[in-house]
Structure 1
């Protein structure tokens, strides 16, 4: 299990550091140092949404966005485990998805951000 984050983005780095202080059971690594293709991570999607990689008996499962954060939190202790479960299940997941998308689109405007935090919308 690994949660990957954009180390070029100050907001993402601050968020990853905050998650790291929660003592999760999953390591948190910069996506710039990971072999994304070998992990099964879509590089273009990883630029827009945080990925969480899990090895299962059936293979590799990659989650993105609020689901990735929820699955990572679920590797921690109480209360983070409960919060992680809630983030990936309705009704909280119905709000978490749009909230994550809003934050991701505006991360260059948030505290600790830099110009590198700006995400260009995907091209059609």
Structure 2
């Protein structure tokens, strides 16, 4: 018998990064069933809730799912998409050798260039 409880995800993001804020808002708009909750790392106790310190939270997004599994970077984004879609397929695809490495590199590029991406502003923007 399938588990009747829905797959949910909590996502930690940087509220001072315009790109991160826009991305979190986008997730909220497409999450019709409310399965993804977002937390700004600047909220009191948020990094600790995800088991990371502030420096780690500033480096990449973090997610914890309803099973207690923790994800970072591209894995966190796949977990959030899994929550939105109500299926763990994005996480299964992410685990495929080659795809994981590609997504991790893409995530690293986005993280390094987020001040140039739509939603610029906040602490990651370059004046």
Q: How many residues were matched structurally? A: 114
- Using CA pairs under 8 Å that are at least 6 residues apart, name the structure with larger relative contact order, 1 or 2: 2
Q: Where does 1:7-18 land on structure 2 (aligned, <5 Å)?
A: 7-18=15-26
Displacement of 1:74 in angstroms is: 1.3
With normalisation by structure 1, the TM-score equals 0.77
| Residue 28 (1) aligns with residue 38 (2) | yes
1:50 corresponding residue in structure 2: 61
SS at match of 2:83: coil
Contact 2:28/2:36 (CA < 8 Å) preserved in 1?
A: no
Structure 1: 5+ residue stretches without partners:
119-124
Give the Cα separation in 2 of the matches to 1:81 and 1:22.
16
After TM superposition, give the deviation of residue 93 of structure 1 in Å: 1.1
The equivalent of 1:63 in structure 2 is 71
- TM-score where L is the length of structure 2: 0.75
| CA root-mean-square deviation | 2.3
